[in-house]
Amino acid sequence: MLGFKSDTNYKLKEIYRGHHQVTYKGVPAIKSAFDYVLYQMLIFNLKPDLILEIGTNKGGSTFILPICWN
> Residue 60's domain spans which residues?
22-69
Alpha-carbon dihedral 8, 11, 16, 22, rounded to 10 degrees = -160
pLDDT tens-digit map of 5-63: 555 566 777 777 777 777 878 888 877 778 888 888 998 899 989 888 887 777 777 77
Q: What is the pLDDT of residues 22-37, one digit of tens each?
A: 787 888 887 777 888 8
50 falls within a domain: yes
pLDDT for 3: 59
Number of domains in the chain: 1
The whole-angstrom separation of Cα 11 and Cα 52 is 32
Helices and strands per DSSP (H, E), number in the chain: 3, 2
**Can you give the pLDDT at residue 45?**
92
pTM metric for this prediction: 0.60
pLDDT at 46: 92
